[in-house]
Amino acid sequence: MARLFDKQAKLYLDARPTYTREWYSMLASLTTHHLLAWDVGTGNGQAALGVVEHYEQVIATDVSEEQLKHAMPHPRIRYHHTPLSISEEELVTLIGGENSVDLVTVAQAVHWYDLPKFYSIVTRILRKPGGIIAVWCYKSFAVSPEFDPVMKQFYDTTLPYWKMLRNHCNPSPMIPLLCIS
């Protein structure tokens, strides 16, 4: 998984959408403090760049070293390669320790995670009270009456071959998950 997108890391950067400033402002309005955010599965940092406008520091992690090579630098973002072999204790320490993170973001990456393990880590590092986790996925899109049924058939036909975890982000309208501690 960590090397799945290595060959097309630059193309991935060019193709990924950005998210609106209003989205990040809304997330920031939900947290009590604005000291530390963790962008999980940052890829090349699109979400981290939006988050950093509202937080003093962002820790942005990814399992792909190649994706991180294309990450957009910012003085308040620290990008870290987090191999699958990293222990939970090492990860918690790297991020900032228990009860230290005001916002955890996962932009189009939750389908890669062992969710019970991931949520266990989030529970440890999220500031209580006042921290939140925001998880969001892409929305399906409509192109035209001619194209849309073909795309739906393609999706329905290929879905059984996708990794099972991919079903956490199916192409229905984007409904973000927000959990407030």
What pLDDT sits at residue 145?
Answer: 87
Q: Which residues pair with 136 in a beta bridge?
A: 107
- Judge whether 154 lies within some domain: no
- Judge whether 113 lies within some domain: yes
How many structural domains is the chain composed of? Answer: 1
- Read off the tokens for 93: 């320490």
- Read off the tokens for 104: 């955890």
Q: What is the DSSP string of 147-170?
A: HHHHHHHHHHHHGGGS-GGGGGG-
Cα–Cα distance measured from residue 150 to residue 38, given in angstroms and rounded to the nearest whole number: 38
Q: What's the whole-model pTM score?
A: 0.79
Phi-psi region of 50 (alpha: psi -120 to 50; beta: other; left: phi over 0): alpha
What pLDDT sits at residue 175?
Answer: 42
What pLDDT sits at residue 151?
Answer: 79
What pLDDT sits at residue 114?
Answer: 83
- Judge whether 94 lies within some domain: yes
Backbone angles phi, psi at 174, to 5 degrees: -65, 120
Q: Which domain holds residue 29?
A: 9-139+172-180
CATH label of the domain that carries residue 112: 3.40.50.150
What pLDDT sits at residue 165?
Answer: 46
What pLDDT sits at residue 11?
Answer: 63
- Judge whether 162 lies within some domain: no
- Judge whether 80 lies within some domain: yes
What pLDDT sits at residue 2?
Answer: 45
What pLDDT sits at residue 18?
Answer: 76
Per-residue pLDDT of the chain (181 residues; tens, 9 = 90+): 445 555 565 566 666 677 899 999 999 999 999 999 999 999 889 999 999 999 999 999 999 898 899 899 999 999 999 999 999 999 999 999 999 999 999 998 777 778 889 999 999 999 999 999 999 876 666 778 888 788 788 777 876 765 554 445 554 444 445 555 4
